[in-house]
Structure formats: structure tokens, C-alpha cells
Chains A and B, each alone.
Chain A
């Protein structure tokens, strides 16, 4: 049974890691012999394997170890509740703070503010009298204009 190209290419990948079973190895060899495209594919994979080598070894320095321990130490410190930093002045933060202030003010007004009512009738008369200050005419002569006007206001004269 002939091997399909897709399977052959999977086998090429396995063969590169020496994971191909002996029987499959023979089948792959037969397919590669007959299929120039898969043979080219195999050559490209060998080229890639040559190209993609492990990078050279690196060694950690003192700074690396100190960095790890500093990070651990920093995570153990208690977090401050509020940190004053330039982040406080970022537009998004300012906008959010403004919205919160508006919502808070509206809530405060809703719960603490009383309804707007008309003043009571008594207080209306008091306010009217205070405005006119009718008592100012009390010591005027009885036939003076002020006294007549006062009596007129009190409803004594028709």
C-alpha cells in the first residue's frame, strides 16, 4: 500500500528525532525514493535542523540571583493602601474619580435632601406682614393716610 505524502512528512519529523519504527522506516524510504516532493521536503527539514541549533550556553550572574530574592522580598512587604504617584493624574483615573464624585453627590442629595414644598399659609401671611411692616403705621394719627391705608389693609374699611 502506497504511503501518502502527508504521512510521509510526519514520518520525516519522527525520523529526525529517531522515533520511527523499523517497519515505518522502510516504508518512508520507499516513499522518498519514489516522491521527489517529499525528498525535497526532507532536505529542507535537514537544512532547518542545521539552522535551528540550540543557542550558546549562558550563565546567571549575581544580579540574577539578587533580582529573584529582591522580588520575593518585595512581595512579602505589606502593600500600602494608597500610593501617590503620577498614575493618579492619568486621564482615565481622573475621569473615574469625577464620575464617582458625581454619583456620590447624587446619592447624598437623594438620601439627605428633603422635598421642595410650598410654604404653609401662616408663614405666607407672616412673610407678607414682615415685608410690609404694618406695625410701622401703629402710632400714626387715626385720620392720616397711613392709618387709613392700614385699616384698609386690615379689612376694616370697605
Chain B
């Protein structure tokens, strides 16, 4: 039996309340769902919360799955929709502070200093991405990190291809407006 067909059987069982069938679906799809959530949030804890939310919604809405597409396609749309509705501000993190600037330069700081600089840069990046509107951020994550085509993004986000083009352009313009001043200040 193909994996796709097996997924369909299991989601039908899950819709009838079979938790073991759904547990198997979670095992099969958790890697890419968590990866998608992580590429969107860039924070492991947030990503785990978001991915758990995605599976929970899949369980709750299993009855609405009609089998018109593959289960993975349905779950992908659900995941994208959850990213769009995800509020990362639940636990507001402070703006990243320049920690590495306080470290002594050179050998003593060594690898630890480099790691800290990288972590600091990642924190700034995460902060900049988090400040983008959700739709721009999702479009950017799907195009840049998931390597999805504009057509695939349009289907997943339920918008036109022209809207995807516009969202990506605005996302890049806004990101440049946030990050370029930091580059000029030497913080990136």
C-alpha cells in the first residue's frame, strides 16, 4: 500500500477518534512540520509550540478532510495557515543587545566569542523577520527557505501569483529597511 493511501486511511480513522492512527501520522510528518515552523519562527521553542498547534488543529479538523488532495498537502496548507495566524508576541523577547562587544578580542574569547557573535546576528535577524507582517514573512520563508515556486506559495496561502510577487518584493524592501541601518552601525 502506498504511503499516501495509508495516510488517507489513517486520517479517516483519526476522524472517527482513533488516536493511535493519528499518532502514526504525527510520527510520519512531524519532521517537515517542525522544520517549516522553525524556518518561520527561527526559534526552537516557538517552533515546537507552533508545530504542536498544527497537529492539534489537524486532529480537531480531521473530519473536514475530504480526501480531495493528499493528506500531506492538506496538512501543509493547515501549517501555512497556522503560521499566518501565529502570534509570536505571546512571550515578548527584548531586543537583542550587543553581548559580543563586551568580550575581549582575539585568542581568549576564541570559539566562544565567534559563537556569541553568530548567535547575536541570528537574534537580530529573527527580530527583523518577526517585525515583518505575517503574510510577507510566510511568503519569504516559503520562497527562500522552502524553495517553493510562486504557484505553490499562491496555492498554500490562497492568493494569486501576482500577490505572491508583491508580498515578496515588500518583504525584501521592509527587511532591507530594518537590517541595512544595523549593517551601517556595524551590528551585522
Contact = CB atoms under 8 A, between A and B. Distances in A.
B88 to A, nearest CB: 15
Interface in B17-63: 17, 19, 22-23, 26-27, 30-31, 34-35, 38-39, 42, 44, 47-48, 51-52, 55-56, 59-60
A47 B175 CA distance: 11
Interface string A40-83: 00001101110111110111100011011101110110000000
A47 B39 CA distance: 19
Contacts of B145: 53-55
B180 interface: yes
Interface string A1-21: 000000001100110110100
Contact of A13 (B168, B179, B180): B168
Contacts of B35: 57-58
A19 to B, nearest CB: 6
Given A45-B176, A60-B30, A10 B169 contact: yes
A149 to B, nearest CB: 89
Contacts, number: 88
A51 B173 CA distance: 14
A71 B52 contact: yes
* B interface secondary structure, majority: helix
A64 B56 contact: no
Contacts of A9: 169, 173
B30 A55 contact: no
B172 A65 contact: no
B143 interface: yes
Nearest to B145: A54
Nearest to A11: B169
Contacts of B169: 9-10, 13-14
Interface string B163-188: 00100110011011001100100001
Contact of B165 (A14, A47, A73, A76): A14
Interface residues of B, number: 41
Nearest to A65: B26
A71 B165 contact: no
B73 interface: no
Interface string A101-117: 00000000000000000
A73 B56 CA distance: 10
B31 A55 contact: no
Contacts of A47: 183
Interface of B: 17, 19, 22-23, 26-27, 30-31, 34-35, 38-39, 42, 44, 47-48, 51-52, 55-56, 59-60, 122, 125, 129, 140, 143-145, 150, 165, 168-169, 172-173, 175-176, 179-180, 183, 188
Interface of A: 9-10, 13-14, 16-17, 19, 44-45, 47-49, 51-55, 57-60, 64-65, 67-69, 71-73, 75-76
5 contacts: A17-B150, A48-B175, A58-B34, A64-B52, A72-B19
Given A58-B35, A64-B30, A68-B52, 17 more contacts: A9-B169, A17-B168, A47-B183, A48-B179, A51-B179, A51-B188, A55-B39, A55-B122, A57-B35, A60-B30, A60-B48, A64-B51, A65-B23, A67-B48, A68-B56, A73-B19, A76-B19
